[in-house]
Amino acid sequence: MTGTVTAAPKAGHGVHPLTLAVVRHKLLAVAEEVVETMIRTCFSPLLNQSRDFSAVILDAEARVVAQAERVPIHMGAMPFAIVAMKDSFAGDIEDGDILMANDPYYGGSHLPDITLARPVFSGGKLRLWVANRAHQGDIGGISAGGYSPSAREIWHEGLRIPPVKLMERGRVREDLLRLVIENTRKPGDTRGDVMAQVASVTVGAQRLQALFDRYGADEIDRCVEGILDAGEAAMRAQLRKWKPGRYTGVSYLDDDGAGTARVPITAHLTLGDGEAEVDFRDCPDQVRSFMNSPYANTAAAVNVAFMYLSDDRQAQNEGSVRAIRIHTRKGSIVDALPPAPVTGCTTLTGSVLIEAVLRALEQAAPDAAMAGFARRFRFVIAGTDREQQSYIWHYFSNRGGAGGNATEDGWCNLGVIHNPGGTPSPSVERTEAGFPLMVEGYGLRTDSGGPGHRRGGLGGVYTLRYEGAGEAVLNAAGEGLVVAPYAVAGGRPGLVHDYRIVRDGKEIVVGTKDSGVRILPGDRLVCCSAGGGGFGDPATRERTLVQRDLAYGYISERAAREDYGLSEAEIAAALAMAG
C-alpha cells in the first residue's frame, strides 16, 4: 500500500502532541531527580530517611508545572513562596542566584520548612524555577524540633527567614548561611541539609537547561502553557462529573492547644459548570496557639482534597486551580495574620481542612467518598547521648490507618491524609544505631481499623525504650485523641491514638500538646496509633474477608462476632486457617 504521510495535528499553543507529552514527562523526571539528589546528599534522618521534603518545577510566573511525588501539602503552597521571592527581588534575579525563605507570611507553611528556589534562564530571560522545600530537624524556637504547642507568637517558633539570596551569581553567601544555622540546635545537620537543597536545585537547573538547549525556549514555553491548560481541562472535566449544588462539610480539631475543645473547621462548597468554590469564612478567629494556618497552607490543603478524588494525573499542576476559587476571612484560623504562631498548620490543621472539604465533596460524589484517616500524633525526643553529643529524634514511625472507600479497605499504617506515604518510617536499625533508643516492638494494632463493608486501615503499636545516660525531654504535637477517624455510608469510626510512658510499672498518658515531658533512662514509650474509618455497613462485608482479617490478626474474635456477625463455626474455621 502506498500513500502520503499526514502530519499529526498540533496540540494547543501549536505544540505537537508527542513533543508535549515528552516534555511533560521530562519535567516530571527532573523533579524526581531533584528529590533523588536530596536523598543522597542530606544529613539529618528526618530528610535522608523520612524524606520530609518536596520538589517542583514552576514557570516564570511561579505556576507549578511539574511536581515530584512527595509531600502534597508542601507542593500546593510552594508557588506562594516563589511569588514572594520574585516580588521581593523584582529586577534583581540573575543566573546563578538561589533564593531562600521559610516565613509563613511570605508564602511559607511553617518555619521548619525552608524553601530554596533557583531560576533558570534561556535567551537572557527567566523561563522556569526549580524549587525544593525541606523540613529541617530544628529551626530554633522554644521547643527542640520546631513544634512548640506553648508558642503564643511566631517568634516563639523559631527563626523567620523572609525572601533572601542564599546564593548570588553562583557563590554561596556564607555569612547568611552561618546566621541561619547558628540559630538552630543542630547547626552541622542544618548546614548539610541546606547545602543538599542547594545541590538538588542546581542539578535540576542543569537538567532544565539541557531541555532548553534541545527544544528551544519558545517551544518549552508553549509546552508549559499546554501542560497548564491540560491541568485545567482535567479538573473541569472532573468537576462536571459531580452533582452540582451547595454542600457543607465540617470537621473538628481536638482542641486549639490553648484550652478550647472541638474547634470546628467549616467548608461550604459550591459546584457547577466545571467550577468549584470553597468558602471558609465561617471558620473561627485565629487562636492563641500554633494551630493557625496561613493562607498558602490552606490553599494547599484544598488542592490536596480535590486531588484525592481526581482521576486524571494531568490535573497535578497549577492549571487545575484555575477551576477552584477559595474564600477565607483574614484573621481567621484558616487565614491567620502575623504574629500568630502556625507550626501545627501542615500536619494538624491542614489535615482537618482536607477532611472538611472531603466531607462536603462526599455529598456531591458519594461513589468517590472515603472515610477518615488517622491524624498525625508526632513527638520529638531531645537530649544528650552517651558520647555527650546532643541529639534531636523525630518520631516519624507508626503512621495510622487510612479510611476505607467503596471498593477498597484503607491502607494500613501508611500515613496521615495530608501526606499519605510521602514520608516513610525511618529504619529501625539506623534509629537504634544513631540514638539512645531501642525499638522493642513494631506491629499492627488489632481492631484499630473502623469496621465496615470496606474496613479502615490499621494503626500500629510501636514500643520504644529510652537508653540514654541522663534525662531527655519529649515535645509532642498532634491530633486524634478526641476526634476519631470518621466513618462513611454506615461504617464505624477507627480507634483514636493512645500514647503512654511506662515507668516503674506505672503509666503516664502523653497528650497531643504536651511539651517538656521528662523521659528517664529505662522508660518505655508505647505508642498505639489510630486506625482509619470504615466505609459501608460491616454486616455486608464478605465472610471470607472477615475470616481472613481474623486469621491475620487484623481483628479480634470479639470484633468478628460483634461487629461483623461471624458465627462460632466461622470463627473457628478462621482460627484454624491461622494455624
Name every residue whose Cβ is closer than 8 Å to that of residue 199 and which is 6 or more positions away in sequence: 37, 38, 41
Q: Does residue 193 form part of some domain?
A: yes
Among candidates 354, 67, 361, which has minimal Cα distance to 231?
67
Using DSSP's 3-state secondary structure scheme, residue 386 falls into coil
Asked whether residue 73 falls in the same domain as residue 220, the answer is yes
Query: Could you give the count of Cα atoms lying within 13 Å of 130 in the half-sphere of its Cβ?
Result: 28
The mean pLDDT value for 166-174 works out to: 97
Q: Does residue 266 form part of some domain?
A: no
Q: Structure pTM? A: 0.95
Q: Does residue 295 form part of some domain?
A: no
- Alpha-carbon distance of 45 to 485, in angstroms, equals 29
Per residue in 233-242, pLDDT tens?
Answer: 999 999 999 9
- Alpha-carbon distance of 92 to 276, in angstroms, equals 37
Mean of per-residue pLDDT scores for the chain: 94
Portion of the chain with pLDDT greater than 70, in percent = 98
Number of domains in the chain: 2
Strand order in the sheet with 498-503: 437-444, 460-466, 524-528, 498-503, 506-509
Using DSSP's 3-state secondary structure scheme, residue 59 falls into strand
Q: Which residues of 356-381 are buried (b: 16+ CB within 10 A; e: fewer)?
A: bbbbbbbbbbeebbbbbbbbbbbbbb
Domain boundary pick from 524, 541, 558: 541
**177, 18 contact by CB (below 8 A):** no
**401, 532 contact by CB (below 8 A):** yes
Tell me the pLDDT band of 348, cut-offs 50, 70 and 90. very high
Backbone angles phi, psi at 187, to 5 degrees: -60, -35
C-alpha cell at 259: 484550652
Q: Does residue 359 form part of some domain?
A: no
- Alpha-carbon distance of 335 to 342, in angstroms, equals 10
Q: Does residue 560 form part of some domain?
A: no
> Of the ranges 19-33, 95-109, 423-437, which one carries the lowest mean pLDDT score?
423-437
Q: Does residue 1 have a pLDDT over 70? A: no
Q: At what angle do helices 17-41 and 217-240 cross, to 10 degrees?
A: 90
Q: Does residue 357 form part of some domain?
A: no
Q: Does residue 2 have a pLDDT over 80? A: no
Tell me the pLDDT band of 11, cut-offs 50, 70 and 90. low
- Alpha-carbon distance of 425 to 165, in angstroms, equals 33
Per residue in 459-487, pLDDT tens?
Answer: 999 999 999 989 999 999 999 999 999 99
Portion of the chain with pLDDT greater than 90, in percent = 89
Per residue in 61-89, pLDDT tens?
Answer: 999 999 998 888 898 999 999 999 999 99
Residue 408, domain extent: 370-541
> Of the ranges 42-46, 62-66, 168-172, which one carries the lowest mean pLDDT score?
42-46
Q: Does residue 204 form part of some domain?
A: yes
Q: Does residue 502 form part of some domain?
A: yes
Per residue in 243-273, pLDDT tens?
Answer: 999 999 999 999 999 999 999 999 999 999 9
Q: What count of other Cβ atoms lies within 10 Å of the Cβ of residue 111?
A: 26
Looking at residue 12, what is its pLDDT?
Answer: 59
Tell me the pLDDT band of 499, cut-offs 50, 70 and 90. very high
The mean pLDDT value for 505-520 works out to: 96
Q: What is Dmax (Cα atoms) for the chain?
A: 88
Q: Does residue 419 have a pLDDT over 90? A: no
Per residue in 263-302, pLDDT tens?
Answer: 999 999 999 999 999 999 999 999 999 999 999 999 999 9
Per residue in 175-215, pLDDT tens?
Answer: 999 999 999 999 999 999 999 999 999 999 999 999 999 99
Tell me the pLDDT band of 9, cut-offs 50, 70 and 90. very low
Domain boundary pick from 190, 206, 231: 231
Looking at residue 153, what is its pLDDT?
Answer: 97
Q: Does residue 337 have a pLDDT over 90? A: yes
Q: Does residue 4 have a pLDDT over 80? A: no
Per residue in 127-149, pLDDT tens?
Answer: 999 999 999 999 999 999 989 89
Per residue in 355-407, pLDDT tens?
Answer: 999 999 999 999 999 999 999 999 999 998 878 889 999 998 888 999 999 99
